[in-house]
Amino acid sequence: MTDRTLIVGQISEVITNFLKGYDSSSIPPIRIVGDTPNSILDQENCLQSITPIVEEVKNTIATCRPETTTRWVAAAKFPGRRSFFVLDLNNTEYDYDSAHLCREIIPVHILRLSRAPKVFRHQGQDQKIADTLAQMHNNHGQAPLPLFDDHTKHRCYAYPRTLYSVPNKSA
């Protein structure tokens, strides 16, 4: 059994157990950051290879808590050992058109994917993830979700939402 098969095969149980921590009422807005080992991803097609992992998380949530809305907001590939994806749950305030301006704090829970996966609250990431997502929305302009940044290569954004003018020094 490959590491990828082992890890993906445990997602359902880990997410189900995490969701049991909420009573039968609606889950409040939360953000799940999937901390994913690069060793189980295709480095040439990172977004494509992380998609089945995200879909497994989303499908498990839909099965356990069908009233919960999920939105795959972003993914990012980093050099080294880890890459990440961001799923919002019940974020009813999300507005794509103004997301580049929104730095609203939503509680972050890390889904650490490994041979012994777990989900844990990481309050220290709340503001950082909010700021990062706003910047990604700005940088990617009107690109569809999920937004994707590859930090292993030079990034250039063709149509950011806001452009800053550079003062003319000769004036």
* Mean of pLDDT values over 99-116: 94
Rounded to an integer, what distance in angstroms lies between the CA atom of residue 31 and that of residue 130?
Answer: 10
In the predicted model, is pLDDT for residue 169 greater than 60?
A: no
CB atoms within 10 A of CB 79: 11
Q: Mean pLDDT, the chain, as a whole number?
A: 92
Residue whose C-alpha is closest to residue 35's, from 130, 116, 101, 103: 116
CA 149 to chain centroid, in Å, comes to 11
In the predicted model, what is the mean pLDDT of residues 110-134? 97
pLDDT higher than threshold 60 for residue 104:
yes
Residue with tokens 């356990």: 64
Q: Domain segments of the chain: what residues?
A: 3-150
Percent of all residues in the chain with a pLDDT value above 90, rounded to a whole number: 82
What's the CA gap between 167 and 8, in Å, rounded? 51
**Does the structure show a pLDDT above 90 at 168?**
no
Residue 167: its pLDDT value, please?
A: 54
44 versus 166: which is more confidently predicted?
44
Tell if the pTM clears 0.85, that is, is over it: yes
Question: Residue 153: what pLDDT?
Answer: 92
* Res 149 pLDDT > 90: yes
How sure is the predictor about 22, in pLDDT bands with cuts at 50, 70 and 90?
confident
For tokens 């979700």, the residue is 145
Q: Which of 30, 170, 25 is CA-nearest to residue 106?
A: 30
For range 5-22, the mean pLDDT: 95
